[in-house]
Structures are given as C-alpha cells and as structure tokens.
Amino acid sequence: MAAPRHQKQHDERHWTLRKNRDGEMYAMPEWEEIRALAEAIKEHTLAHLDKYPEMFEPNAKANGIQVYWAKDGDEHNRIVAVPC
C-alpha cells in the first residue's frame, strides 16, 4: 500500500480478526471436524461448479427472481448497467 497509515490500520485489523478467530477456534472442540467438512464442501462445489447455475435458475425463478445469463463481462455490464 502506498499510504503507510492505511497499511498500519490494515495490519492492526488483520491481527485483531485473527486473534478473535483463534479464540473462537480454540473454544470449539469440534473445530477441526467443521473445518474439514467446510473444505470438503468447497472442493465438491468447485469440482461441480458447472452444474450449480443450472440448479439455481429454476429455484430462483420459482421464487420470482429474474435470472440473466451473460457470455462475458461486457454482456454482464450491458445487462446490469442502469442508464443515467
């Protein structure tokens, strides 16, 4: 970071969050089991990422949500851009 003050604030906040997380982690005996489960869910999701959008769309539409598909970033920007 180019701004030393912001770097210092960032570092302090990072270590505060880390300390709080570590405190919670050590207070939970099942922490490692939960962590392993979260990792397995993440790996499964990433391995099957191509399936989830198709699963999401019908559920979203059933709840009244409009779903748009974009082939790339430019198309995404055209879909979500709000005219001024």
| pLDDT one-digit tens code per residue, 37-78 | 999 999 999 999 999 988 999 999 999 999 999 999 999 999
- Decide if 10 is inside a domain: no
Q: How far is CA 16 from CA 8, 12, 23, 34, in A?
A: 12, 6, 11, 22
Distance (Å, whole) CA 1 – CA 14: 14
- Decide if 84 is inside a domain: yes
Higher pLDDT, 4 or 75: 75
- Decide if 55 is inside a domain: yes
- Decide if 17 is inside a domain: no
Q: How many domains does the chain have?
A: 1
Determine the number of helices (DSSP H) and then strands (DSSP E) in the chain.
4, 0
Output the pLDDT for position 4: 80
- The model scores a pTM over 0.85: no
- Decide if 12 is inside a domain: no
- Decide if 15 is inside a domain: no
- Decide if 19 is inside a domain: no
- Decide if 34 is inside a domain: yes
Distance (Å, whole) CA 35 – CA 29: 11
Percent over 90 (pLDDT), the chain: 79
Domain enclosing residue 66, as ranges: 27-84
